[in-house]
Chains A and B, each alone.
Chain A
Amino acid sequence: MRPRALLAMVLCLCLGGGTAPVGAEILRPWSGSPKPSFALKELNGGARGLDQHRGQVVLVHFFATWCEPCIPEMTSLRAMMEKQADNRVAVLAIDVAEVEDRVRRFFERLPVNFPILLDGDRAVTKAWQVHGLPTTYILDGTLTPRFVVEGAVDWTKVEVMRLIDGLTSRTDIQLENSMFHKGG
C-alpha cells in the first residue's frame, strides 16, 4: 500500500474511531525477514521460548492492558483457542512494558487459555519491530512469519479461522516432509 493511501486509511480510522476488532481483511502477508527467537518470563512464573512451539502455528500477539482494542481481541483469542480441537495452534501473548502486578490483576478478571509473557523492557517488542499495539504475527510450523496484523482482529471470524487452518495443514505437510527426509 502506498504511504499516502495508508495515511488516508489511518486518518479515516482516527476520525471514525474504528477500534472494534475486524476480520481477515487486515491480515497482511509477511514478506520481510525472519523474526528472532525469544524466551520471556511467563506471568505466574517460569519462562517460555518461541522455539518450544516449533511444529505449531503460532500467533505472537503483542498487547498491553491499557490498550482498549486489545481487550475484546483477548476475548476473541480465547474463544478461538477454545475451538482448537488439537494442539496445532498456539498463542503467545506478550505484554509490553507493564508491571507484572498490573498484568496479573488484569488476567484475574479476564482469564485466558494461553500463556502470557512479559516483555518488561520492550526488548522483544523492539527486536520484532512492533510499532503499535495490538500487533500480531502469525508464524507457520517452522516459526517463519506468514502474516502480520497491526490492529485488533476478531479471531473467531470464519475467514480468519480458515486462514489459520490453511497454515496448520501446510505445517502438517512440512512436518511430514521433514520426517520423510529424515527417514522417518
Chain B
Amino acid sequence: MTIHRREFLMGTAAFAAVASAPGQALAQAGASPFRPKPEGWRRFDIVTRLEVKPQGETRAWIPLPSVHEAEWSRPMGNLWTTNATRAAIHRDPKSNAEFLRVEWAASEAAPVVEVQSRFASRDRAIDLSKPGQARPLSAGARKYYTSATALLPTDGIVKETAEKITAGATTDMQKAQRLYDWVVENTARNGQTRGCGVGDIASMLKSGNLTGKCADLNALYVGLARASGLPARDVYGLRVAPSKFGYKSLGTGSDTITRAQHCRAEVHLAGFGWVPVDPADVRKVVLEEPPGNLALNNDMVVSARKGLFGSWEGNWLAYNDGHDIVLPGAKGPTLDFLMYPQAETVAGRLDCLDPDNFRYTIKVTELAT
C-alpha cells in the first residue's frame, strides 16, 4: 500500500485536531473523525482469478467495474487471460452492469480465467446544508429507481413501514434522513450472515428479524426509500483499501479481498443529486470496532453515523447497481444482484459464497498516482 505524503500529512493534521477535541474515544482508538472529502483520486488494480473444478461444460460470469460517475468512480478497463473457448464483456441491458462471460468446453481439464480490472475512485461528500445545482433525474430514471425488484417490493409491509417512519416529514431530505436513522437504530449487523446477506426486505420486516449485512440493511434502506417515492439504489462493490480514518471495520486488512464485498446505497434528492448513504456500515462499526458491540453514542459510532449520511470513503470499488440480472447463457435462475463471480457446470450453479470450493480469489494493488 502506497502512502502519499499529502494524504499522510492530512491524516496527521486531522488526528492532531481531534486529539484536543471532546471525542477522546476516537483518538484512543487511533481513529479520526469520519469525514470523507473529494480531494484526490486513487487508482487500483484488482485481479479476479477463477479455477473451476471441471464438470462438463463450464460457464462463468465475473462482475466488472461499470459505475461511471465523473466525481467519484472511473472504470479504466479490463484485461483477461483464459483457456476458455469464449470470453467477452457483456452488459445487462436494464442496469448497464458489465461482466465478463466465459465458456469452457467439456474437454477442458482445468478451466481458469484471470481478469485484471483497473479503476480510479475518490471520496464523496455532498453539502447537505443547502441544495445545489445537481441535475434532476429523467422521468425514466426516476421510474427505474423507484420501481420494485424481486426482493425490494414497494408495497405491502414495506410501504406501510415506510409511511410510518416518514409520517410528518415535509421534505424529501427529512424522509431520507428519517429512513437512515430508522435503519441505524432498528437493525443490527449479524456476523453469522453468509456473504453480504440476501436483501429479502419483506421477509425481514415480516419476521421482525432485522439483522444481516450490507445487502440486507442497505437494501432495507433502498426499499423503504423507493416505497416513499424517493429514487434510491444499492451499489454493489468491493472494499479495496483500509480506511484512512482509522476505522478497522470499514476497510480491508490485506491485499487479498476475496471476501471483501460490500454494497452501499444512494438516495436521489432534488438539488443534491445522488446522496451517498451507508447505514449498514454504521452497524458494522457498532459490532466490530474494538472492543465490539459499541453503543450508538460511542464517539466512533456517532462520527461514522454522521459521515455516512452524505459521504463515502473512496476505498471501495463500485461494480454496478443492478437488480434481477439475467446472465446470458445461464441455465440457473436470474440473479438478485451481481457482486460475486458466478459459474455453472453440469452440476448446476456453484455457490458464490463459498470461494474456497468454487473456487476464486480476488487481489488488489493500489497504483502510484
A-to-B contact residues, CB < 8 Å: 3, 6-7, 10-11, 13-19, 64-69, 97, 99-102, 105, 120-122, 131-134, 150-152
Contacts and interface: CB of A to CB of B under 8 A. Distances in A.
Given A64-B200, A133-B200, A14 B349 contact: no
B198 A64 contact: yes
A102 to B, nearest CB: 5
A79 to B, nearest CB: 21
Given A101-B351, A121-B333, A17 B208 contact: yes
Nearest to A131: B202
Nearest to A11: B164
A43 B333 CA distance: 16
B22 interface: no
Contact of A132 (B193, B207, B347, B354): B207
A99 B348 contact: yes
B325 interface: no
Interface residues of B, number: 35
Looking at chain A's contact residues, is the secondary structure mostly helix, strand, loop, or mixed? loop
B205 interface: yes
A47 B348 CA distance: 16
A13 B157 CA distance: 13
Nearest to A14: B208
Nearest to B194: A66
Contacts of A132: 157, 200, 202-203, 205-207
Contacts of B198: 64, 66
A17 B208 CA distance: 5
29 contacts: A3-B160, A7-B157, A10-B157, A10-B160, A10-B205, A10-B206, A14-B205, A14-B210, A19-B207, A19-B209, A64-B198, A66-B194, A66-B197, A67-B209, A68-B207, A97-B333, A99-B349, A99-B352, A100-B348, A101-B349, A102-B354, A105-B351, A131-B156, A131-B206, A132-B157, A132-B203, A133-B200, A133-B203, A152-B207
Contacts of A67: 200, 203, 207, 209
Interface string B312-354: 0000000000000000000011101000000000011111111
B23 interface: no
B333 A122 contact: yes
A105 B194 CA distance: 13
B56 interface: no
Nearest to A7: B160
A95 to B, nearest CB: 12
Interface in B168-211: 186, 190, 193-194, 197-198, 200, 202-203, 205-211
B354 A101 contact: yes
Nearest to B182: A14
Looking at chain B's contact residues, is the secondary structure mostly helix, strand, loop, or mixed? loop
Interface string B248-282: 00000000000000000000000000000000000
A69 B209 contact: yes
B153 interface: yes
Contacts of B210: 14, 17
Nearest to A3: B160
Nearest 4 Cβ contacts at the A-B interface: A13-B208, A132-B206, A121-B333, A132-B203
B161 interface: yes
Contact of B348 (A6, A65, A101): A101
B334 A121 contact: yes
Nearest to B199: A66
A99 B203 contact: no
Nearest to A63: B203
A72 B203 CA distance: 16
B150 interface: yes
Given A99-B348, A99-B350, A105-B351, A68 B209 contact: yes
Contacts of A99: 332, 348-352
A131 B354 contact: no
A62 to B, nearest CB: 10
A32 B134 CA distance: 48
B332 A120 contact: yes
B208 A19 contact: yes
Contacts of B207: 13, 19, 67-69, 132-134, 151-152
Nearest to B150: A122
Q: Which of B153, B164, B203, B353 has most chain A Cβ within 10 Å? A: B203
A181 to B, nearest CB: 42
